[in-house]
Structure 1
């Protein structure tokens, strides 16, 4: 082995901490480089790629080094390595300038990423930086060049043909200073590059031009000039209503290849429209929506450049990919050819924004899109591509009317009640939820004693009353039973809320609705019509059983309404079911007469209220117990409960007293800040009109789903000291000089999105706030808590399911009734 002397044993590295959050570690290990193929490189420059933030948001690997693109200097390699790679790669030596990219945020190899002082890479996946190019410029190219090579492979373009034509361009370039001159190519085959203004699109245009093809670009008017400078024969404005038709006319209906560097539903649709009538091939850089495959004569594919490394990608769907051996072989051919194009000056680096500060500045750079007025497109769970909007656009978006940006349309698509509940009306016309917003504040004072009554009944039933021996419970399952009973008191009243059969069926329906979401959302409508009814078959049976249990109560309430009140003067019930029936009598008489519809609206209300409340409550209690050793959390909360609520006597509990529980409120808000049970994105809206543009100049196409990245704002180091640490009393400590007022658990803002923001913020959060405080007060007053011995006094970490941060499955605690 040959090395530069005195290599350090540790390095500084930017590690993934959690969803879209990073920590700069000062003593991270140097990546391993002890095989004949691996080269150790001192990183000089890196480029921030959208995948760096996107992957850490959608599939974070805590402890993994982040970063993709780099350029640097070779500092260690094996001297006895022999291979058949291109000479420029096999004859690497200490001090050579190289560029490449690495699989950052890698669940399998956590100590190797570009955002570090050193990176280890196979010599097969390195390019020597040409003498005419700076390391700074070189760092912006690697993943783009690799992606273009894979895209050409998936377009089924012969690498041999590419090599022959590219070598002609290389020879011509060596005789001319005009790198974009006209070369004598053998064919005039059009290739559409959608997103010609992107970095990868710009590289694709140059490679295609040098390889004998005729690239045409679809881009903005602002990017058209540069695309033509790089070699595009023509450009087309993607916002033009006739864009696809114009491309087909320009190519005389002969276009057979399209590379989509934007990779959303609208870009796919335009590419499909532009490809000629005989069909062709389409390649995207992200998973494409299946329902976009509207022409059988077009073969679609999507690429992920990390597959060139010959290992599976163990990220969350849809990025969980098996090995692709063909990609490894294609990359081996492409790298040597790309080296010749680089050496000949036929690939030009994009325009760069330079940042000072080294590794310490990368966290801010990764979050740049959200915090400083830029938007990012990410693939959503469904068939649409979602746009992450910058924080600066929040107030503008929240002020838009519902027929411009629609929350109802966004959640109707997300929840798929068309199949799970048999009709989309339960979310497209969710009047059962509107009643909560209209009436909850007026009935909450009288509701608190009712919820307290159910809590006092449920906790001893599920936790026991033994004051001598510890009882082990599965926390989430236990809380689900407690919370279901409490919330059912509000939804259906005192009769059914303690009916174990009803509560069990209600939970089964919730699980069934979630199953249907996952069985339908990723697929186009024609497939949903098959998977939807199949996945919801058991759900429909369980809804019918709930309907039978509701029938006596429904008939009783219906009789009350028809008799215009109770003859004995007794006040009508104030639960949600009664509110629904009163509303339906006035506004939806056809629905009132249909018990099946009323039952399904009750199930929709259960879905919104019970499941997510259980996850949040579980996180709060886990975090309370987990922080107790460092912050004395339980004792501090017990003191507050005694001082504010009066100890064990819950008869006088009220909304006013709960509002004074600042420490308990802080624990709940801090738990919601660090955990994302409702997803890392908030305030979803669907764009309902064409031509919409934000004040930042972000153009929004009709049908796009927009949202905001809560995981950035809620762990922002500019706003929070030690942002990734659970500090139970962060929001309850006395104000420091110059500090603004602390926010409460229910307060929404562009920086705190668990309940959404604006006029459509969750109306039930005020009841949930009181319920969580009641649960903590009852639990800590009447029970001691501890970890099972196998946890060794440590809190089990949350896990990620797609974009949701949820408690670890089966997490357990010990409880014992206190002697009071």
Structure 2
């Protein structure tokens, strides 16, 4: 009689197989103790493989196995196939891809990405749009590649090299690699996608998939702009600055703006990240003044005012040394440059900026960041976005995301307001048009792809 036994050990489930005789109950019990590991599951119908295709996920040998070799014989390759839960992952899926005409369309036969060792595979429940999604046109579009970056969902598989402890079924959010010519199946706007295993975030119980989907790109951009490009010490997360100083966050009502403001907020607040002890100054339209102040802005200025830059310079007593431009247009850059004090400083944009504006004040050092770079992978978009792999950058960001995950669990980080729509992936393309027409303010477009039960 062939029997299959599923044993739970810690957070892993390992399939054991045994062959028992019908000679008696005692013999059956003895054989159950001396089970053997089989190279592949038997077609008993009790368990399905994690993936229909022959894709294996390995885990380290359990620590007690060497001491029990009398009872157990390990697989020849010294790995154990992890059947964390009965999950049927298809070969193909519904996704938004770029068609031959470079227009985005929903298809039902897009390939599910092959999981890299350092990634987790996620079943997507909600996706969010970002301004970068509106800029993927022309040479930035790879026909057949899946679209999108930000998503939230549940873990269905874990790569063999992921160090962070993930449990199958955990709720997670993160940024995928959308419209990448080298990884065309890596976009977020699909039924399944892959996320960096060390940088993805667990979603706390109180938070919906839709709210969680607003976080990834905002967090990625914030850590790159504040701690990497501006060279502001990450140690300020743990110990606030002894001497506070102002930072201009141009476009404070954007999702990146509200996240940066939270990180820089005054130390009299309880939020762990807000104890950096810096003074966020921001701009937006007057209708959103109270909104950005609710995230911790010290002062707010109307970006439409002809004297906006001069007003900020006056407020900061000609001492502003840092400006983060969440809009990055010629007009926004000019205001930032006008606001920076006489001693100069640093300007960080979200896109390549006009060189002629940068040339007006050589005492200001300018730079721009792309959220995708936080993954440490090469960026294969056309110049000037092309960049080499930088695994050290990704590694250096891990402590930041570990801290953010704890803050989320404690309810100390506010998500940007989500404008949630149904309609699944089919509705996302229309949302891109809304962003292009600049009809969205102080909200983030989010689309539910799987309803929570």
Return the TM-score normalized by structure 2.
0.72
- Tell me what 2:425 maps to: 359
Q: CA separation in 2, counterparts of 1:186 and 1:132? A: 35
- Tell me what 2:56 maps to: none
**1:253 positional shift:** 1.7
- Give the conservation status (yes or no) of the 8 Å contact 1:163–1:337: no
Q: Please tell me the root mean square deviation across aligned C-alpha atoms, in Å.
A: 2.0
Q: Which has the higher strand share?
A: 2
**1:318 positional shift:** 3.1
Q: CA separation in 1, counterparts of 2:400 and 2:102? A: 32
- Give the conservation status (yes or no) of the 8 Å contact 1:207–1:347: no
- Tell me what 2:438 maps to: 374
| Structure 1 position 124 matched with structure 2 position 206 | no
Q: Determine which of 273, 277, 296 is the counterpart of 1:212.
A: 277
Q: Determine which of 134, 143, 149 is the counterpart of 1:68.
A: 149
- Tell me what 2:158 maps to: 77
| Structure 1 position 319 matched with structure 2 position 385 | yes
Q: CA separation in 2, counterparts of 1:367 and 1:306? A: 22
Q: Determine which of 200, 205, 215 is the counterpart of 1:141.
A: 215
- Give the conservation status (yes or no) of the 8 Å contact 1:11–1:26: yes
**1:7 positional shift:** 2.1
Q: Determine which of 155, 158, 161 is the counterpart of 2:236.
A: 161
Q: CA separation in 1, counterparts of 2:374 and 2:101? A: 26
- Tell me what 1:103 maps to: 177
Q: CA separation in 1, counterparts of 2:395 and 2:317? A: 35
- Tell me what 1:32 maps to: 114
Greater relative contact order (CA < 8 Å, ≥ 6 in sequence) = 2
**1:163 positional shift:** 3.3
- Tell me what 2:403 maps to: 337
Please give the per-residue CA displacement for 1:658-689, whole angstroms capped at 9, x wherever unaligned. xxxxxxxxxxxxxxxxxxxxxxxxxxxxxxxx
Q: CA separation in 1, counterparts of 2:208 and 2:111? A: 28
Structure 1 spans left out of the alignment, 5+ residues: 84-89, 166-184, 377-820
- Tell me what 2:246 maps to: 190
- Tell me what 2:3 maps to: none
Specify the SS of the correspondent of 2:106: strand
Specify the SS of the correspondent of 2:182: coil
- Tell me what 2:95 maps to: 13
Q: CA separation in 1, counterparts of 2:330 and 2:116? A: 45
Q: CA separation in 1, counterparts of 2:422 and 2:140? A: 28
Matched residues, number = 347
**1:20 positional shift:** 5.7
**1:235 positional shift:** 0.2
Aligned pair in 2 of structure 1 residues 361, 57: CA closer, same or farther (>3 Å)?
farther
- Give the conservation status (yes or no) of the 8 Å contact 2:249–2:261: yes
What is the correspondence of 1:277-356 to structure 2 with a 5 Å cutoff? Answer: 277-293=342-358, 294-325=360-391, 327-356=393-422
Specify the SS of the correspondent of 2:110: strand
| Structure 1 position 252 matched with structure 2 position 317 | yes
Q: Determine which of 48, 61, 71 is the counterpart of 2:129.
A: 48
- Tell me what 1:221 maps to: 286
Specify the SS of the correspondent of 1:283: strand
Q: Determine which of 200, 203, 212 is the counterpart of 2:256.
A: 200
Aligned pair in 2 of structure 1 residues 327, 269: CA closer, same or farther (>3 Å)?
farther
Specify the SS of the correspondent of 2:238: helix
Q: CA separation in 2, counterparts of 1:197 and 1:290? A: 26
Please give the per-residue CA displacement for 1:465-520, whole angstroms capped at 9, x wherever unaligned. xxxxxxxxxxxxxxxxxxxxxxxxxxxxxxxxxxxxxxxxxxxxxxxxxxxxxxxx
Specify the SS of the correspondent of 1:230: coil
Which one has a bigger Cα radius of gyration? Answer: 1
- Give the conservation status (yes or no) of the 8 Å contact 2:376–2:392: no
**1:81 positional shift:** 4.8
Aligned pair in 2 of structure 1 residues 244, 70: CA closer, same or farther (>3 Å)?
same
Structure 2 spans left out of the alignment, 5+ residues: 1-81, 266-273, 441-453
What is the correspondence of 1:337-736 to structure 2 with a 5 Å cutoff? Answer: 337-370=403-436, 373-374=437-438
Q: Which has the higher helix share?
A: 1
Q: CA separation in 2, counterparts of 1:21 and 1:199? A: 26
Q: CA separation in 1, counterparts of 2:351 and 2:328? A: 6
Q: CA separation in 2, counterparts of 1:151 and 1:201? A: 11
**1:61 positional shift:** 0.5
**1:68 positional shift:** 0.6
**1:18 positional shift:** 5.0
**1:326 positional shift:** 5.3
Q: CA separation in 2, counterparts of 1:287 and 1:18? A: 28
Q: CA separation in 2, counterparts of 1:15 and 1:235? A: 40
Q: CA separation in 2, counterparts of 1:20 and 1:190? A: 43
Q: CA separation in 1, counterparts of 2:352 and 2:108? A: 36
Please give the per-residue CA displacement for 1:726-765, whole angstroms capped at 9, x wherever unaligned. xxxxxxxxxxxxxxxxxxxxxxxxxxxxxxxxxxxxxxxx
Specify the SS of the correspondent of 2:155: strand
Specify the SS of the correspondent of 1:235: strand
**1:291 positional shift:** 1.1
Return the TM-score normalized by structure 1.
0.41
Please give the per-residue CA displacement for 1:705-745, whole angstroms capped at 9, x wherever unaligned. xxxxxxxxxxxxxxxxxxxxxxxxxxxxxxxxxxxxxxxxx
Specify the SS of the correspondent of 2:428: helix
- Tell me what 1:261 maps to: 326
**Stretches (4+) displaced over 4 A:** none
Please give the per-residue CA displacement for 1:355-410, whole angstroms capped at 9, x wherever unaligned. 1111122222222345xx5369xxxxxxxxxxxxxxxxxxxxxxxxxxxxxxxxxx
